[in-house]
Amino acid sequence: MDIKGSVALVTGGGNGIGEAVVKHLAKLGAKVAVVDMAQKNIDRVVKDIQEMGGVAIGIQANVTSEADTARYIKGTLEAFGQLNIAVSCAGIIRDGTMLSLD
């Protein structure tokens, strides 16, 4: 599948699986929005993508916030004019939902 010129938004894009996904999409030619809670991670990933010739923006946000979610979608649309791919890689743990974590 050719995604060159598409716009992708990846939550949790500042590290781990999300970082790998957003960099892969950029390598395939998508413009990417890196959404994460940690600004330092966003800055690092956006810089990496730009250094490899890709196009990226970063948006600091908490995906559990409805207002933040509206803001990062709006920011992506304002920057790129469209949104074709959305990947949810943000990790959310709510203690007691299914099991109790130490």
Q: 33: how many CB neighbours lie within 10 A of its CB?
A: 28
For 93, the token pair is 């743990």
Nearest in space to 88 (alpha carbons), one of 101, 71, 74, 69: 69
What is the model's pLDDT at position 91?
A: 79
What is the model's pLDDT at position 63?
A: 93
What is the model's pLDDT at position 22?
A: 98
What does the pLDDT look like over 46-102, one tens digit per residue? 999 999 999 999 999 999 999 999 999 999 999 999 999 999 998 766 665 555 566
What does the pLDDT look like over 21-60, one tens digit per residue? 999 999 999 999 999 999 999 999 999 999 999 999 999 9
For 51, the token pair is 């250094």
